[in-house]
Amino acid sequence: MTEIITLSRARRGQGGRIHAVEAIEANPADALELERRLLEFGLVEGARVQMIHEGPVGRDPVVLDVEGMRIALRRHEVRGLSLALTGTDAAE
Amino acid sequence: MSDTAITVALVGNPNSGKTALFNALTGSRQKVANYAGVTVERKAGAIKAPDGTPMTVLDLPGTYSLRARSPDEVITRDVVLGRRPEDVPDVLVVVADATNLRLVLRLALEIKAVGLPAVMALNMYDIAERQGLRIDLEGLSKAIGMPVVTTVATRKRGLEQLLTIVQGVLASTAARPSTWHEPDVGDIRAAHREASRILSAHVKPPERPDTLTGKIDSVLLHPVAGLLILLTLLFVMFQAVFSWAAPGMDAIDLGLGALGGWVAGIMPDGLLQSLIVDGLISGVGSVLVFLPQILVLFLFILLLEDFGYMARAAFLMDRIMGGAGLHGRAFIPLLSSFACAIPGVMSARVIDSKRDRLTTIMVAPLMTCSARIPVYTLIIAAFIPRETVWGWVELQGLVMFGLYAAGILSALVVSFVIRKIFWRGAFEPFMMELPAYKMPDPGSVALNLWQRARIFLERAGRIILPLMVVVWALSTFPGPPPGATGAAIDYSFAGMIGRALEPIFAPIGFNWQMVVALVPGMAAREVAVAALGTVYAVADAESAVGTLAGVLSLQWSLATGLAFLAWYVFAPQCVATLGVVKRETNSWMWMWVMVVYMFALAYLAAFVVYRLAVAFGLG
């Protein structure tokens, strides 16, 4: 049973495969730009992702392990991405 | 073609070791300048191929895509596409971190569409081998359609082979017309699938993957330990800037003083002597004296950047800085500004996004730089009694601390206002890659440090020197009439300006002597101390602070003294900083915005302080 969550709500230790990529921004041009940047950093459908660090204030920004690369981003930048969780070797 | 050198452009992701490869190829034969019209560095080096063919190597700003998102990436795109006439490449070298191929493969696919002959340099190949990463070089080369060469830039391995293959590919492949177009989201997804296919076909995952970076990160990015380490690091850096730089600063001060004395001795008294000694030597000296601090500061910044820590510091600070509308990366430039706003403004280049960089530059001079210290010290010595309050706090130290705090607080407020008013709702993603930790290469740190020093000195020469001469001329001409009794500066243009401006400054409690001192004080903040000395006819005021403080405490009211301090928290009394701001923003407009807003804040602050102090009976 795979659980699908929004990537921006993931906690440290949670990981899985990117289920869908969509960028949410008020301005459509910004949303398109954000989506392209996310894709350029390897956040594509099917990519293996794990949240490995959370920032000291408000658990934001976060560091994601994306197919072996470490990408730092703010949570609100990935609120349009959904993650199909795999086995939770969670720290929580 | 035969008489011109082959132009080779290095393209790659940030942190791929591209600059290390460039340094290994060109060594000290590199020229660093700005691209015309933008503040992006152009790095080029003339070298010879193993067979003697002349080559020009260009180090283009790192990028993940030719789809340019920042001014730096626009340069990369334009050069790659042959749109900049000064740099039209014949061959493109895609520099790849052999241990981190996924994103660069996508870039390589884009580069292939450009149609120029291209070669991939698999850099850091020694690390890949150590990790037991197996790369099928031939298969990879076929799949991406360009020759693949393995290199280790830090050990200068594979360089000759790379250059030979660059020549070979240039001789054997004709450039095809470009079919590149800006990739849309569908193209990027397709390119990623292609890159994944190539990776799984030709690259076996490492047997001994890098676990060190993860281990270091678990400490350095720890929510509590990470912040503590960051603060400790900053404390050490700050201490070093002041203590390590002190001998150098003293030496420069002493050397220039001796030079001035020597020139004064061998030259007849008169205008020319005054121009050289009071204008040029002491003017340049007041800027040159900050060189040691700038070098120490940049040494730290370069080491931390090369080690891979800067991106982590930005990560830790992003939320804290973000409250004021600043990017996490703004942290280092603002910190540097405590020593001097010039390196602070210069190091704002680490921020990719144009708006965040501009905000950072605009608030950097509000941080209390070391040139304010002599002014603060003088006024505090004159007006703040040496008392202890609440049993243990020294009042003079408390006032000093308050002035620092006022600087920081105002920087945060101003950046918040800039964000809310000018760039309301502007979209600036934070996203960045955290590179693997690496030992900094001493050679490349030294080279970089030398380049920073040269840039600073060139600016001191080109912008600051003429301005110093202007300030000198204002305080010298016209000379006092025969039989004049006051100080010479009273009769000069500076004196006239001071008296003319006096009515404007009267509401904030400044007398005309103070206003006169502010004119030469535009050269640099601490010059105001010497200028006050001149106006009040205290010889050698900078070394005789006690005497001058005594005079001031008799001549000024406490309210005036406090207003003067408030003025100095904000006023942009430093033409050197303004010159660098003009240079770094490439705009007179932003420089004037800075001048106006800082003078406005200074006036307002001095007014409020003066009126409050008078109301409390301290006038």
Segment B441-464, tens digit of pLDDT? 888 889 888 887 887 777 666 766
- Give the pLDDT of residue B595: 96
B548 belongs to a structural domain: yes
Same domain for B188 and B250, yes or no, is no
The total of structural domains in chain A comes to 1
Q: Which amino acid is at B6?
A: I
φ/ψ of B30, rounded to 5, equals -105, 150
The total of structural domains in chain B comes to 3
Residue B328: both structure tokens together: 């996490």
Identify the residue whose tokens are 């991405």: A81
Same domain for B128 and B256, yes or no, is no
For residue B397, count other CB atoms closer than 10 A to its CB.
12
Residue range B391-436, pLDDT digits in tens: 787 888 888 888 988 998 999 999 999 888 887 766 778 889 999 9
Kindly give the residue spans of alpha helices, DSSP state H, lying in B203-277: 212-220, 225-243, 245-266, 271-274
Same domain for B415 and B556, yes or no, is no
Residue B541: both structure tokens together: 């005021």
- What whole-number distance in Å separates Cα of residue B566 and Cα of residue B514? 14
**Which chain A residues are closer than 8 Å to B183 by Cβ?**
36
Q: Hey, are the CB atoms on B188 and A37 less than 8 Å from each other?
A: no
Could you give the ipTM of this predicted complex?
0.92
What is the DSSP code (8-state) at residue B436?
Answer: P
Q: Hey, are the CB atoms on B223 and A41 less than 8 Å from each other?
A: no
Helices (H) and strands (E) in chain A, counts: 1, 6
Residue range B334-361, pLDDT digits in tens: 887 887 888 889 888 778 778 888 999 9
Identify the residue whose tokens are 């000290």: B28
For residue A73, count other CB atoms closer than 10 A to its CB.
25
**Which chain A residues are closer than 8 Å to B314 by Cβ?**
72
Angle at B74 between CA B70 and CA B78, to 5 degrees: 175
- Give the pLDDT of residue B474: 82
| Residue A26 near chain B (CB below 8 Å) | yes
Indicate if the pLDDT at residue B223 is higher than 90: yes
Same domain for B20 and B161, yes or no, is yes
Same domain for B298 and B407, yes or no, is yes
Burial of B404 (0-12, 13-18, 19+ CB in 10 A): middle
What range defines the domain where residue B417 resides? 225-369+397-425
Instruction: State the helix-helix crossing angle for B372-383 and B395-421, rounded to 10 degrees.
Output: 130
- What whole-number distance in Å separates Cα of residue B541 and Cα of residue B143? 73
Are B285 and B256 spatial neighbours (Cβ–Cβ below 8 Å)? yes
Residue range B148-206, pLDDT digits in tens: 999 999 889 999 999 999 999 999 988 889 999 999 999 999 999 999 999 999 999 88
Are A82 and A17 spatial neighbours (Cβ–Cβ below 8 Å)? no
Indicate if the pLDDT at residue B35 is higher than 70: yes
Q: What is the DSSP string of B153-213?
A: GGGTBSHHHHHHHHHHHHHH-PPPPP------HHHHHHHHHHHHHHHHHHEEPPSS---HH
Same domain for B173 and B251, yes or no, is no
CATH code at A31?
2.30.30.90
Q: Hey, are the CB atoms on A57 and B320 less than 8 Å from each other?
A: yes
Same domain for B132 and B275, yes or no, is no
Residue B276: both structure tokens together: 């050289």
Indicate if the pLDDT at residue A92 is higher than 70: no
* CA distances from residue B501 to B492, B494, B603 in whole angstroms, order as listed: 14, 10, 13
Q: Hey, are the CB atoms on A52 and B217 less than 8 Å from each other?
A: yes
What range defines the domain where residue A70 resides? 4-85
B577 belongs to a structural domain: yes
- What whole-number distance in Å separates Cα of residue B219 and Cα of residue B229? 9
| Residue A20 near chain B (CB below 8 Å) | no
